[in-house]
Amino acid sequence: MSQEKELDPLGSARQLFGARLRRMRKAKGWSLDVLEAKVPLSKSQLARVERGSYLPPEKLPALLDDLFGTEDLFAELYVFACREAVQQYGYNLLLDHERRAVGIKEYAGVLIPGLLQTEGYARALFRSTAARDEAWQEEQLAIRMARQTRLRGENPPHHAVILDEAAVRRPVGGPAVMREQLEYLITMVETPWCVIQLLPFSYGEHGMLGGAVHLLTMPDNRTFAYEESSGNGTMMEAPDRVQRHVRHWDRLWAYAVKPQETAAFLRQVIEALPGSTASPTDTAPVFALTPTTPTPRTDVFNVRHATLGGNSES
């Protein structure tokens, strides 16, 4: 029988997670085979988690806390392990602020935002970034899926997304993956906690072109702005810089089409994908997306979200 490798719990947050898991498992007198029967991971995956060489999937920490009666120990260690796996300082701040925000506004200019990505869509993006590094792909996928858990929790933040037409036109992952992604967006277009509005190409140039912007309102009413481009992200706290982004976002929100029209457009994009049941003449959506003169918005999201301090001065 091979001897287990000695662990270094101080080496990293991931190694600390693994060391605590091994300690709890042995305290129960369980082998990896016993633990394998209780959680949705193979014996080899569990061994890698204990060694700190594998970031566990998002559902494992809560399962371990239930199994060992450790309250939120593994859930909290997992948060730190995810933060540690992301090297960019600005992105670490984004993850931290997302977990605490009561309101999140986003402009997505090129891609579907991470909080709304399906697993297939996200996996395709990571594969295109590092095609030969499957371990990195799985690690980043786990982090991305973990970010979405709060949106499905008991007290999610209010989430408003301006989705540029370019983001829904680019068939990331191929027709089947994109179809699944767009169908998921349709379910999220208008819920008690989420509103998505599409900004058509016909709007033209604007102050947020070139990347993605996140506006995160904290429980104390402070708002942070996170600006992201390819491979880079910057978190901004200075009021003048934040308010500049807030004003741009509010203007685009006024010009974006309503959720019902957004859903109708997404359905036509789906029908135009290869392999759909649309007729050969349906090569592109024909739904008219004509921006109108902005008027004061009184829809359900803005009425709710105004109480969070997320709206800017005109």
Read off the pLDDT of each residue in 125-131 and give the average, rounded to a whole number: 90
What are 67-83's pLDDT values in tens digits?
999 999 999 888 888 77
β-pairing, 194-199 vs 212-217, is unpaired
* Both structure tokens of 314: 């005109």
Q: Give, in order, the Cα–Cα distances in Å from 33 to each of 30, 38, 62.
A: 8, 9, 20
Per-residue pLDDT tens digits for 148-165: 988 888 889 999 999 999
Residue type, 258: K
Could you give the count of Cα atoms lying within 13 Å of 233 in the half-sphere of its Cβ? 18
Q: What distance in Å separates the CA atoms of residue 197 and residue 189, rounded to the nearest whole number?
A: 7
User: Mean pLDDT over residues 163-176, rounded?
Assistant: 95
Over 60: is that where the pLDDT of 237 sits? yes
pTM > 0.85: no
Instruction: Give residue 263's pLDDT.
Output: 97
| pLDDT for residue 300 is more than 80 | no
Pairing verdict, β 212-217 and 103-108: antiparallel
Query: What are the pLDDT digits (tens) for 17-61?
Result: 999 999 999 999 999 999 999 998 899 889 988 888 777 778 899
What dihedral do alpha carbons 297, 299, 301, 302 form, nearest 10°?
A: 20
